[in-house]
Amino acid sequence: MHGATGMSSELIFHAGNVEFLSVASGLYRQDGQMPPWAFTTSADAQELWCQEDAGYAPVAFAMGNVAYSIGVGRGITGAFKQLQKGEVKQYSDIFTHTRNLALQRIVGEAQSVGANAVVGIKTSILPFGGTGVQEMLMVGTAAHHDMSDAHFARMGVTTSDLTAEETWNLAKIGYSPLMLVLGTSVYSLGFVGGLMASFKNYVKGEISELTDLIYAAREESLGKVRAQASNIGADDVVGVKTYIYDLGGGLIEFLAIGTAVKKTDSAKTKTDMLPAQAIIRDKDTFFNAAESSYGVSLTRE
């Protein structure tokens, strides 16, 4: 067997026990073009073709996770009643650190197997057995790319949550992913004590104060994404997705996530066009199964 494709990972909770389950499909190739190692990848067959044709040879399925408590937003709600409306920077910093830990750990896994890229990253926020703890999990494919540009050599390991088809299309026009970038901001609704409480004072029409608050949170998170991209010399941030979550206790989190890219001579494809089997289709790469969000906003730029 030359490798295993379509690998997934799942936690299954039993009475007093947790089962970790991984499933994949083994494959064998006879034309001798496969790398000398037995690889594992989170990509399915179509995604694998796109990634390889864009120059990303799979090395290993990679995973990075962090478990954290959300009790801050839900347990001591009385403390938040004294907060003014606006960003609560202390909690923005905590959430930013937590969100980026999973990314740091998936990069560490890639480095440990000699890869210089992690592609096709999918991010999930999962409940951990009804304990009030959540897990942020990133899975993707650690891969090797012949990145001759000095700029990419300085990056060490590049990361991307773009789909395999998007990665191929970017390479076709001369762009390579640099880094998955995240921006998160936690804002207080102030004395209202939560989103639903504020609605009770209105019958219909725009809630201008809430509109302004959400707009400010959005701009703050997107500003953090732009700053990260600028710091690493990126030309653009593509595939930007934005989400709003009610954390409870009068707090909301605004999360922006995307991939910083740069035009480079290293970006190219082996063939001139995608095969018919690689149907272009939109895919979600961020999932929150831990709690339902209110007013989820999704944008791609």
* Residue 298 domain-assigned (yes or no): no
Q: Return all residues near 113 (Cβ < 8 A) that are at least 6 apart.
A: 59, 60, 62, 142
Q: Which of 70-74, 109-113, 140-144, 208-212 has the lowest mean pLDDT?
A: 70-74
Backbone angles phi, psi at 76, to 5 degrees: -115, 55
- Any domain includes 154: yes
- Per-residue pLDDT of 21-64, as tens digits, reads 677 677 666 665 555 667 878 878 788 889 989 999 999 999 99
Domain carrying residue 136: 3-267+281-288
DSSP 34: S
Number of separate domains in the chain: 1
Taking residues 267-295, what's their average pLDDT? Answer: 67
Instruction: Name the phi and psi angles at 95, rounded to 5.
Output: -65, -40
Residue 299 inside a domain? The answer is no
Evaluate if residue 133 carries a pLDDT over 60. Answer: yes
In the predicted structure, residue 8 carries a pLDDT above the cut 80? no
Domain assignment present for residue 275? The answer is no
pLDDT value, residue 77: 42
Would residue 297 count as lying in a domain?
no
- String of DSSP letters for 158-176: EE----HHHHHHHHHTTEE
Cα gap 212→133, rounded to integer Å: 31
- Which pLDDT score is estimated for 292? 45
* Domain presence at residue 108: yes
Q: What is the pLDDT of residue 299?
A: 39
| pLDDT-derived band at 143, boundaries 50, 70, 90 | very high
Contact yes or no for 299/222 (Cβ under 8 A)? no
**CA 89-299-178 angle, 5° bins:** 75
Residue range 177-217, pLDDT digits in tens: 999 999 988 888 764 444 555 555 555 666 677 778 788 88
Do the domain assignments include residue 300?
A: no
Q: Which of 34-38, 170-174, 221-225 has the lowest mean pLDDT?
A: 34-38
- Mean pLDDT across 242-260: 84
Q: What is the pTM of this model?
A: 0.77
The proportion of the chain whose per-residue pLDDT surpasses 90, expressed as a percent, equals 30
Mean of pLDDT values over 144-156: 81
Is the torsion defined by CA of 172, 174, 179, 184 positive or negative? negative
**Range with the poorest average pLDDT among 27-31, 79-83, 191-195, 295-299:** 295-299
> Does some domain include residue 49?
yes
Give the pLDDT score at 161.
92
Can you give the pLDDT at residue 11?
62
